[in-house]
């Protein structure tokens, strides 16, 4: 059995079971600033239990294809949005949940102008830029002081890694 | 009296009275993902009264220098973060408050990798990219259904516009 997972373009409909693609698509919900700016309003389903929302910056090392996917993780207490601060390609890897374990991963390549918000509890790969700078703004749950890291992080390591490959 | 305002580089210390510069500076607060990602943690002071936080996308028309600044606005009920989804230059224009009116504006040019969060109630210019695409993720207050737009928007038009110019 092959462990290859071919990349597919990131697409709102295909990603819908896992969260939202944050992108300009269709006409804006409203025009602001003397019609010089389109506002595409409230596109992420932010969802936190305990803690509060915050904005952090992630600065990640670029990876290359084929990419060896050894693990996925999920955050049971909150959604997590990745917003690229560049127009470089990056990987969005998710898996459905099968009785508390991740199913076969799905790998998307994000196009310029696409961010994502993972729904709370979604199995996903770590942030994986394909070029430098691997800089992202991240909107996620800020834990209360003293909370154990494990409260909002569950990791699964695969017995055999998957290989994310060009389609 | 000149109405010219020379641009200055966006700098966290100079911007501090108006909010936070969201950028990678200094070592990360923690290393995650097998040390392949630095997390610069919780860098924005998010501040909302009523409503809730959301992520929207703003798609703004690029402007050119010199830029005529005819108005500034503020949001009394919430902070507002602008996160560029590109590495293009853009303007960050703010003004201190002087008895309910904006003082002389200050104009910064953001460098690649810099976002900002305006503190609640900060006078600021509208989103002003200097190149296409003028695409930004915006984290701000989502109003409750039925709330008047004026509840969280105050605009001041200058009798004579300011001119934002190269330094």
Q: Quote the percentage of chain B above a pLDDT of 70.
A: 99
Buried b / exposed e across A49-77, counting CB within 10 Å, b at 16+? eebebbbbbbbbeebeeebebebbbbbeb
Instruction: Find out whether the peptide bond into A66 is cis, omega within 30 degrees of 0.
Output: yes
Between chains, do A38 and B59 touch, taking CB under 8 Å as contact? Answer: yes
Note the pLDDT of residue B19.
98
Which residues from B are below 8 Å from A33, CB to CB? 60, 126-127
HSE at residue B50, side-chain half, CA atoms within 13 A, is 10
CA distance A4 to chain B (A): 22
Distances (CA, A) of B17 to A81, A159, B102, B122: 28, 52, 14, 9
Note the pLDDT of residue B1.
57
Residue B141 burial (CB < 10 Å; 0-12/13-18/19+)? buried
Q: Do residues B62 and B154 lie in contact, with contact meaning Cβ atoms separated by under 8 Å?
A: no
Note the pLDDT of residue B130.
98
Ranking A1-15, A106-120, B115-129 by mean pLDDT, the lowest is A1-15
Between chains, do B117 and A36 touch, taking CB under 8 Å as contact? Answer: no
Paired tokens of B134: 């003028």
Q: Do residues B107 and B92 lie in contact, with contact meaning Cβ atoms separated by under 8 Å?
A: yes
Which residues from B are below 8 Å from A138, CB to CB? 39
Q: Do residues A48 and A118 lie in contact, with contact meaning Cβ atoms separated by under 8 Å?
A: no
Q: Do residues A147 and A74 lie in contact, with contact meaning Cβ atoms separated by under 8 Å?
A: no
- pLDDT of A12 > 80? The answer is yes
Among B35, B44, B55, B86, most A C-beta atoms within 10 A, so best to mutate, is B55
Q: Is B130 left (phi over 0), alpha (psi -120 to 50) or beta?
A: alpha
Note the pLDDT of residue B90.
98
So what's the ipTM on this one? 0.97
CA distance B17 to chain A (A): 19
CA distance B114 to chain A (A): 8
- pLDDT of A2 > 90? The answer is no
Note the pLDDT of residue A60.
98
Among B21, B24, B37, most A C-beta atoms within 10 A, so best to mutate, is B37
CA distance B163 to chain A (A): 18
When pLDDT is cut at 50, 70 and 90, the band that residue B45 belongs to is: very high
Kindly state the average pLDDT of the residues A53-82. Answer: 98
Note the pLDDT of residue A1.
57
Rounded CA separation A39/A48 (Å): 24
Paired tokens of B84: 């560029």
Note the pLDDT of residue B80.
98
- B97-116 tens-digit pLDDT: 999 999 999 999 999 999 99
Q: Do residues A113 and B85 lie in contact, with contact meaning Cβ atoms separated by under 8 Å?
A: yes
Name the interface residues of B facing A (CB cutoff 8 Å): 22-24, 28, 32-33, 36-44, 46, 52-61, 81, 83-87, 112-113, 115, 117, 126-127, 133-135, 137-139, 142
Distances (CA, A) of B74 to A33, A61, B32, B139: 13, 37, 37, 15
Between chains, do A113 and B56 touch, taking CB under 8 Å as contact? Answer: no
- Per the prediction, chain A carries an average pLDDT of 97
In chain B, domain spans? 3-165
Kindly state the average pLDDT of the residues B65-82. Answer: 98
Among A85, A111, A145, most B C-beta atoms within 10 A, so best to mutate, is A85
Instruction: Find out whether the peptide bond into A133 is cis, omega within 30 degrees of 0.
Output: yes
Kindly state the average pLDDT of the residues A24-28. Answer: 95
Note the pLDDT of residue A45.
98
Q: Which residue of chain A is at minimal alpha-carbon distance from B33?
A: A126
Q: How many CB pairs under 8 A join A and B?
A: 145
Between chains, do A61 and B139 touch, taking CB under 8 Å as contact? Answer: no
Quote the pTM value. Answer: 0.97
Domain A3-165 in CATH 2.60.40.2470: no
> Which helix (H) or strand (E) element contains residue A99?
none
Q: Is B10 left (phi over 0), alpha (psi -120 to 50) or beta?
A: beta
Place of tokens 């996308």: B57
The total number of residues shown for chain B amounts to 167
- B141-165 tens-digit pLDDT: 999 999 999 999 999 999 999 999 9
- State the DSSP string of A104-155: S-EEEEEPTT-EEEEPTT-EEPPPEESSS--EEEEEEEEPPTT--GGGG-EE
When pLDDT is cut at 50, 70 and 90, the band that residue A81 belongs to is: very high
Contacts of B108 (CB under 8 A, 6+ apart): B7, B8, B9, B10, B11, B14, B15, B91, B92, B93, B94
Between chains, do A83 and B142 touch, taking CB under 8 Å as contact? Answer: no
């Amino acid at each position: 059995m092959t462990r290859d997972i071919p990349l597919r373009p990131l697409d709102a409909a295909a990603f819908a079971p896992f969260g939202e693609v944050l992108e300009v698509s269709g006409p804006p919900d409203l025009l602001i600033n003397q019609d010089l700016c389109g506002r595409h309003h409230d596109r992420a389903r932010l969802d936190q239990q305990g803690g509060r929302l915050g904005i952090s910056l992630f600065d990640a090392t670029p990876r290359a294809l084929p990419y060896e996917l050894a693990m996925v993780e999920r955050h049971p207490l909150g959604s997590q949005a990745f917003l690229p601060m560049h127009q470089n390609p990056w990987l969005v890897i998710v898996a459905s949940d099968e009785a508390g374990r991740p199913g076969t991963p799905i790998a998307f390549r994000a196009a310029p102008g696409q961010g994502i918000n993972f729904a709370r509890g979604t199995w996903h790969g770590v942030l994986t830029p394909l070029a430098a700078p691997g800089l992202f703004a991240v909107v996620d749950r800020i834990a209360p002081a003293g909370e154990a890291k494990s409260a909002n992080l569950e990791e699964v390591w695969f017995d055999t890694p998957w290989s994310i490959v060009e389609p």
